[in-house]
Chains A and B, each alone.
Chain A
Amino acid sequence: MPGYQGKILRVDLGTGKTWVEEKDEMFYRRYWGGRGIIAYYLLNEVPREADPLGPENVLVFAAGPLTGAPFAGSGRNSVGAKSPLTGGYGDAEGGGFFGAELKRAGFDAIVIKGCSEKPVYLYVHDGEAELKDASHLWGKTTGEVEDLIKEELGDRLVRVAQCGPAGENLVRFACVANDLTHFAGRTGMGAVMGSKKLRAVAVRGKGQVQVANPEKLRELARWMTENAPVLAPGLTDTGTAGGTVNLSVAGGLPTRNFKQGSFEGAEKISGQTMRDTVLVDRDTCYSCPIRCKRVVKTETPYKVDPRYGGPEYETIGSLGSNLGIDDLVAICKGNELCNAYGLDTISTGVTIAFAMECFERGLFTLEETGGLDLRFGNKDAVLKAIELIKERKGFGDLLALGSRELSRRIGCGAEDLAMHVRGQEIPMHEPRLKYALGIGYAVSPTGADHCHNFHDTGYEKADSRGFEELKGLGIYDPLPASDLSPEKIHMFWTVTNLRTFANVAVICQFVPWSVQQLEELVRAVTGWNTTAAEILAAGERANTMARVFNLREGIDLSEERLPKRFFQAFSEGPLAGKAADPAVWEKAKITAYKMAGWTEEGIPTKECLARLGIGWASKYLPDKG
């Protein structure tokens, strides 16, 4: 079957058994991979109200049809389970080589249930799987574990995905690390691994991904290799952090727990400064010529190990401007620690930012923080906090809960200072700059997320590259970033479904493939007669299934809102006086519900599920559906 191995590896950690499940082509064509396959297994195999950190939760590592085929952007994989951070659907995607290697090892996905009694790791190689003792790995950093597994297996080319000590300790925003430098960061998937006592998954294979039309695929791959230097030179030059100054100048760089939108130290922590100071190399993912990944090395005042890569824009914001820190080396150190411990840098930083604002307002005393002087800008306190979160010691045990749970425990109005949606911390994109992005934060199945979302600023001008793409999908009117009209909501859903397609295909969103080229890639790899309509439907289907899972779990839809702060305009800076009117915003959200085929309460209708070919999921809907 071109594009697929046709096999899903099943693992029961409670019994130690592994077996192979074979699926037919129509299963794959309906659910694709990534979020589609994860949502399918979560809906069908996780019992209602299962404990996210208990044996009933199901953890899925999933590639997609395009993963592992030889073209730029095909190295990614998804990791999903019920989230310990949000209590609802959880997944995250990471790059590197793990996804491609999983396919080469003979599997499209790994579905894991149960909890092991003692620490184990899963070794998957050329169609075989075995659980191996990981007692000697427990408590070690990601770097140490990677070295030990490669040494033990006698194979330097094995690809390792692992949870880090933060996941072992069930930090609710622990992530999954691929190869130390790529991360499925969000929704706490590392904690799910930790709860299952599954420290790592190591994959290795000598097989190939079967491709329907190799010649066409080679032509497409060659085109991107030749054109990437013209289409995406900024990503190569300055990485994702190349936009830091842009956002600060526009007033949309999260600063001091989103209290401000411009940071006086933006240039000092930018991708440009990184390139000119601490950058020693550029890293990449499977088969990609763009090389957007950073490698940094420093000796003083903090020693930063280059094997953990370097900070993305999200980390520059969450461990930098949003904490009032303008020291790039300190941010690199924080990034290195999070990567060595398996902590999501976004949730780590935003939770610390919340604690800093509470501290400055007197909601915590120095005694209560165990001596941590959590004033904005105190970089040493931040680095110490990261250590304490990983260990879950002292004040770190509270921070390890994430901002929502911590704010509930504090009370006294602290809830309004916690920047999250449904428990997931808000990433480094400002809803007062990008209005429909804020709607996307609210209605996302995983809580606030910037990847399967819409960035308004890319679609304001008719001749911009972002908007040009939409014309081919039948959208002809560019709109201001502050627009929340039904036309904008239509644009929002179109882009969101397209971006979610990347998470079912499973490919990178940064490689600038056009929609037409995506069609050609799918056709070349799978042999299917895929069109843009099928691509958009695949993204929408996966998102809808994830939403049905949330409804089945009793997620309170009144929580689909933004923190109050985002409806209060900044008092100064480029966006002074600008924020969405709450009534207009609420109306736009209901428009989004209705346009998706959901009720005004946000529940997908049976007709919506029928249109997407997932009528079976209606049995999980509450009565109103």
Chain B
Amino acid sequence: MKLKVKLFGDLIRYSPSGRDVFELEVPGFNGSDATVKELIRALGIPEGEVWIITVNGVQAQAERILTEGDEVMIFAPVMGG
């Protein structure tokens, strides 16, 4: 299943390509059963570093099931200063 992923802020360090926007083929996923949580785990992002997730522009929970071509954005907490 191919996904479009966009990582924000310091989460860029978990990008396989080093770029904040990338396409990801997720081989270990079982078709429509793949969830956002599994994607985050596959990227190696600790749960505490994730603040908000959107799928196709709409806020989503970690349990959200992903399908081919979804655009997933993962945001780190904004501290501010």
Contacts and interface: CB of A to CB of B under 8 A. Distances in A.
Contacts of B49: 464-465
Contacts, number: 88
A234 B11 contact: yes
Interface string B23-64: 000000000000000000000001111011010000100000
A512 to B, nearest CB: 9
Interface residues of A, number: 41
A237 B10 CA distance: 9
Interface stretch (A172-180, A195-203, A454-462): A454-462
Contact of B54 (A249, A453, A499): A249
Given A237-B20, A249-B59, A574-B59, A458 B79 contact: yes
B51 A246 contact: yes
A246 B79 contact: no
B57 to A, nearest CB: 9
B75 A237 contact: no
B17 to A, nearest CB: 13
A230 B73 CA distance: 20
Interface string A490-508: 0000000001000000000
Contacts of A461: 47-48, 77
Interface string A518-542: 0000000000000000000000000
B79 A457 contact: yes
B77 A466 contact: yes
A233 B10 contact: yes
A465 B8 contact: no
Contact of A272 (B10, B20, B78): B20
Given A249-B54, A458-B79, A234 B47 contact: no
B16 to A, nearest CB: 14
A125 interface: no
A212 interface: no
A463 B10 contact: no
B77 A242 contact: no
Contact of A249 (B9, B11, B47, B52): B52
Given A450-B80, A464-B77, A509-B81, A250 B52 contact: yes
15 contacts: A231-B10, A233-B12, A234-B11, A237-B12, A237-B20, A242-B8, A243-B8, A249-B52, A249-B59, A249-B75, A450-B80, A450-B81, A457-B78, A457-B79, A458-B79
Interface of B: 8-13, 20, 46-49, 51-52, 54, 59, 73, 75-81
Interface of A: 229-235, 237-238, 240, 242-243, 245-247, 249-250, 252, 272, 429, 434, 437, 450-451, 453, 455, 457-458, 460-468, 499, 509-510, 574
Given A242-B9, A450-B81, A455-B80, 14 more contacts: A232-B10, A233-B10, A235-B10, A237-B20, A245-B75, A247-B78, A249-B52, A250-B51, A250-B75, A434-B80, A461-B47, A462-B48, A464-B48, A509-B81
